[in-house]
Chains A and B, each alone.
Chain A
Amino acid sequence: MSSYVDKEWFYYLRGRELLIYKIQGGSSTQRISQSGVFQSYDKELMYPDENISEGLRIEYTRVSEPFVKEALETTTSYESGIIISFEDGTGSSSRDVIDLGSASTTEFVANDKIRIRGSSSNDGDYTILAIATDGSTGYRQLEIAADSFTAESVGERVTITQIPVDDSTSPSTTSHINLNKMLSLAVLDYCKAMIAERNGEMDKKEYFMKEFYSKLGDNESNKRNISVTFPAGPFAIK
């Protein structure tokens, strides 16, 4: 059983490889002469000494889904509550169903992609095939492809969040950049810089690249609003 992994495990980056090491517990001692002199090694590193299913987790960035079918700012549909249940094959054409437990109109529409969290056994990403209404209760239902869900009754606090639909396989002129407005404007500056470079206008290229990085910085600082307060001196003019 692995424990204290944050203190005893290490990694080393070698090119595109990741090498995992673990501290060997305790110290090892060996006699190096007949007179009783010992050579001691503390905290030797060794290779992993156990199998751990999905034991290595790598968090990283990649260029995933650069284009989506809908502007990021409009993918805001959301449902949550402890009255949401999952049905196996009860929808039209034996589709699986998310019963929202309410007759209120939902913001979701067909072909939206959704992410479910908080359920006992149905967390994941799905695509809505149709919006329906339960004939007996009048509750709104989201129909998903058959064999997607395990039946689950109400009780868990489930959240259903809309996520962008990928359009990166064959993007068209109507595809949206999978970034918010500020970063989309930064992308625009990058394209202007590339055009300036192609025209040999290096001063303009430098200007637009500066604008590009400036917008990246703005976008980050917009998420980290820090207020700095200075104490006023006793004789300060107010």
Chain B
Amino acid sequence: MTVLEVMERLGSKEETLIKSWIEDAVHLIQSNTKEKIEVSKRDLIKSSGSTDNVYILPADLVSLENISIKDTSDSKYKKIRRLSNQPHYLAEDISP
């Protein structure tokens, strides 16, 4: 369906406004039904400081589907689970 067709069905000549509403509707659809899924990959770094485990979520994220980590033993991405609470204590010594 073209923008023009939407405008004609609505009886509107406000092209910019209609395009904005269409983008809003697509945003709402992506938030509710996950129509189109994107994938972003980042390098995972060996932590040496207190904020090295912090990664910024994609700036254009609408809805998070899942997080995976690459299992290097079989080169497959495996979904990891979400912690509902931030850990109260933490072993900052990262040596095994």
Contacts and interface: CB of A to CB of B under 8 A. Distances in A.
User: Do A and B actually bind?
Assistant: yes
Interface in B31-72: 31-47, 52-58, 60-72
Interface in A168-209: 171-179, 181, 183-188, 190-192, 194-195
A174 B73 contact: no
A24 B43 CA distance: 21
A228 interface: no
B25 A48 contact: no
B44 A20 contact: yes
A12 to B, nearest CB: 4
A2 B72 CA distance: 5
B78 A60 contact: no
Nearest to B69: A5
A54 B42 CA distance: 5
Given A16-B56, A47-B47, A56 B42 contact: yes
Contacts of A183: 29, 35
Contacts of B85: 12
Contacts of A235: none
A6 B71 CA distance: 8
Nearest to B47: A47
24 contacts: A2-B70, A16-B57, A18-B67, A20-B53, A28-B91, A44-B89, A51-B43, A52-B70, A54-B41, A54-B42, A55-B42, A55-B69, A55-B72, A56-B42, A61-B34, A174-B4, A176-B1, A184-B6, A188-B1, A191-B18, A194-B24, A212-B25, A212-B28, A219-B33
